[in-house]
Amino acid sequence: MKRNTVIVLLGGIGALMVAMGIGRFAFTPILPMMMENHLFSPAGAGYLASSNYLGYLVGAFILTLVQVNNRSRLLLLGLIGSIATTWGMGEFHSLEIWLLLRFLSGLASAVVFVIASSMVMERISTKQAGIFYGGVGAGILLTGFSVPLLAKSGDWIDVWKGLGLISLIIGLAAWYLLRDKQSGTNAAISPSNQQASGVRRRILIWLMIAYGLEGLGYIVTGTYLVAYAKTVSNLPNIASLSWILVGIAGAPSCIVWSMLASRWGKKWTLTVSMIVQSISIAIPVLIHSSAAVFAGAFLFGATFMGITMLTVSFAKDIYPQNNRKIIGLLTTFFGLGQIIGPLIAGHLISGNGSYLTALIGAAFIVLLGAVSLPLGIGRADRKQLKPVT
C-alpha cells in the first residue's frame, strides 16, 4: 500500500472516529448513566436521538444541493462542530440545550461523513474502503473502553468532557492528514454531465429505499442497545461490555464485507448483511439472556457499518464521477429513517415499559429492506455494472 494511501486512510479513519464513533454514538453508552440520574425518560431519550438524526438529515440534504469549493475547510468546520457539541453535552444541564447540541452534532456528523467519504473514496480502491469505514467501529470501541474509565473518576458530565478532549486530539490529527493540498480542484461535477441510464436510476432508487429502511430499523438498536442490556442481567458492566463488542466486531467488519462483495457482488452481500442485522436486533429480546445480548451486539457491530460501506461503494460504481452528491442523497434517506425510528421506539418503550415491540419492529423493517434489494434491482446490476474488483 502506498504511503499517500496510508495517510489518507488514517485521516479518514480518524475523522469517522470523531464525528461518528464518538460524536454520534457515544450517546448510546452514556444514555443509561443520564437516565439513572432521572435527567429524562425513554421518550426523552428518543427525542434527543431524533434531534441528532434530524441534524444528520439536514446536513446530508444541504450537501446534495450546494457546491463545495473547499472541502478541507468544510471538513474542519464539521470536526470542530462535532468536538464542541460532544464537550457541550457535559457543560450544559438542560434538555432544551441538549436537543440543540444533539441537532448540531448530527449536522456536523453528516458534513464529516459525506465530505470525508468523498475525499477518501476518490483516492482508494473499493477493497480499501473497508479499512476506511472501519473507523466508525474503531470510534465505538474507543467509547466502549473510555466511558467506564472516565465514569470511574467522575459522572456523566466528566465522561462527555473527557470524550470531547479525546475528539479534539484525534480530530485535529485527522484533518491534518486528510486535508486537500489544492482546494481549487474540489468543485463538484454538475449532474448535467452525468446522464444516468434508466437502469442505473432504478438501482439507485432501490438503494435509497433499502438504505432508508436500514436507517429506520438499525437506529433503534443503535440508540437503546445499552439501556436494554441493563434490564436483562445484573452482570457487572454488561452495558459497557455489549457496546465494546459492537466496536470489536465493527472495526474489521467492513474489510470482511468488502471481501465477500468481491465474490458475491454488492447487491447480494448487502442483502445478506441486512438479514444478519435483522437477526441481531431480534435475538436479545427473543432470548432473554446475557449471552443473547452479547451475540446480538456482536452481530449488530459486524453489520451496521458494513451496510453503509457497501451502499456507498455500490453508489460509487453507478456514479463514479459525482460521488459527493450521491453519498449526500443516500445519507438523506438514511437520516430520514433515523429520525422516525427513535421517536416511535421511545414512545413504545415508555408506553408499555418493554423493549420487545420496538426491537422486533426494527428487525422486521431491516429485513424488509434486505428483501427489497434483490426484488427491486433484479438482474439490473449484472447487466449494467462491471464486476466488483
CATH code where residue 371 lies? 1.20.1250.20
Let me know if residue 389 belongs to a domain: no
Q: What is the maximum span of the chain, computed from C-alpha positions, in angstroms? A: 59
The pLDDT-based confidence of 67 (bands split at 50, 70, 90) is: confident
Q: Are 161 and 87 in contact, with CB atoms under 8 Å apart?
A: yes
Tell me how many domains the chain contains: 1
Let me know if residue 265 belongs to a domain: yes
Q: How far apart are CA 84 and CA 169, in angstroms?
A: 12
Q: Are 360 and 208 in contact, with CB atoms under 8 Å apart?
A: no
Let me know if residue 26 belongs to a domain: yes
Q: How far apart are CA 309 and CA 92, in angstroms?
A: 35
Let me know if residue 279 belongs to a domain: yes
Let me know if residue 55 belongs to a domain: yes
Q: How far apart are CA 71 and CA 86, in angstroms?
A: 22
Q: How far apart are CA 138 and CA 328, in angstroms?
A: 23
Per-residue model confidence as pLDDT tens digits over 322-380? 677 888 899 899 989 888 887 788 888 877 777 888 899 999 999 999 999 999 888 76
Q: How far apart are CA 253 and CA 324, in angstroms?
A: 24
Let me know if residue 190 belongs to a domain: no
Q: Is the pLDDT of residue 101 over 80?
A: yes
Domain residues for the domain of 16 are: 3-183+195-384
Q: How far apart are CA 45 and CA 69, in angstroms?
A: 37
Per-residue model confidence as pLDDT tens digits over 147-194? 989 988 888 999 999 999 999 999 999 999 998 754 444 444 444 444
Q: Cell numbers at residue 161, please?
A: 468532557
Annotate 202-229 with three-state secondary structure: HHHHHHHHHHHHHHHHHHHHHHHHHHHH
Let me know if residue 189 belongs to a domain: no
Which one, of 143, 137, 193, 136, lies nearest residue 166 by Cα?
143
Query: In angstroms, what CA-CA distances link 19 with 63, 251, 387?
Result: 16, 15, 32
User: Residue 356's CB: how many other CB atoms inside 10 A?
Assistant: 16
Let me know if residue 100 belongs to a domain: yes
Q: How many residues are listed for the chain in this entry?
A: 389
